[in-house]
Amino acid sequence: MDFADKVVFVTGAGQGMGQAIVHHFGVAGAKVVAADINADAAAAAVAGFDDRGLALACNVADPASVKAAFAAVAERFGGVDIVVNSAGVGSVDAFLDTPDDNWMRVVGVNLTGTFLCCREGARLMRQCGAKGAIINVSSTAAMSGEGPSHYCASKAGVMGLTRSIARELAASGIRVNTIVPGPTNTPMMAGIPDEWMQSMIKAIPLGRMCEPEEIARVAAFLASDDAGFITGQNIAVNGGMAFI
């Protein structure tokens, strides 16, 4: 797929899926914006793309930070065509022991952060006249409930957000979809004990974890004209472990 002249804004771009997504679109000719709370990691993600790359330190949970990020994109590239919301955090908390701060942090990054980047991204798309695409990232845990309450609630919220704004933004020619990954080989999964990992892999009919590049390829498809009649959908990428 050729994304020459397209401007692609990716959150959580410093590592894992976000980094793979920046790389994929960059290799396909796009101008790539790597936004991450980790400024050094964002810079490394676009290091190979010279003038086509822009690294931004951005906390997606902070409205002012997100506004400033999209203002910087407008100034540098004049608009945005594709927004991918990959930034996400987890926290291992039993429900009854969940500290308020952890609930606020996980929901703040995963759901509010996605909302803020969808809103500012769509505003800029409207402003520059782009018939754009937004891709959000949920999780199989949102459907199975196999995960902490804040994480599952935030990821289920992303699906509802996607459906609502897909309807509203359709009149502007902007499509919005959600990728729903199963276990994927990223730093987020690195700390999981091997025993837990093995039992997770056993539950995946294709018998392995997803690779970040496989998520990037689905993001590229959803952003492309080939997906021109797809909006508001959940696209599962999970090796057959669950059905939407």
Ligand X SMILES: NC(=O)c1ccc[n+]([C@@H]2O[C@H](COP(=O)([O-])OP(=O)(O)OC[C@H]3O[C@@H](n4cnc5c(N)ncnc54)[C@H](O)[C@@H]3O)[C@@H](O)[C@H]2O)c1
Confirm if 27 and 2 have CB atoms less than 8 A apart.
no
Query: Is-contact 84 21, C-beta < 8 A?
Result: yes
* Distance of alpha carbon 197 from alpha carbon 31, whole angstroms: 36
Whichever of 62 and 128 has its CB closer to ligand X, that residue is 62
Cα–Cα distance, 144 to 128 (Å, whole number): 39
CB nearer ligand X, residue 124 or residue 179: 179
Minimum CB separation of residue 2 from ligand X in Å reads: 25
Distance of CA 142 to the CA centre of its chain: 15
Distances (CA, A) of 139 to 40, 52, 142, 198, 234: 27, 30, 6, 19, 10
The minimum distance between CB 47 and ligand X, in angstroms, equals 15
Question: Catalytic residue among 56, 151, 161, 166, which?
Answer: 151
> In the annotation, is 151 catalytic?
yes
Name the site residues for ligand X (rule: CB under 6 A).
11-12, 14-18, 36-38, 41, 58-61, 86-89, 109, 113, 137, 139, 181, 183-184, 186-189
Shortest Å, Cβ 141 to ligand X: 7
User: By CB neighbour count within 10 A (0-12 exposed, 13-18 middle, 19+ buried), where does 243 fall?
Assistant: exposed
158, 138 Cβ separation under 8 angstroms: yes
Q: Could you tell me the smallest distance in angstroms from the CB atom of residue 129 to ligand X?
A: 27
Q: How far is the CB of 85 from ligand X (least distance, A)?
A: 8
Could you give the count of Cα atoms lying within 13 Å of 21 in the half-sphere of its Cβ?
35
Residues with a known catalytic role: 151
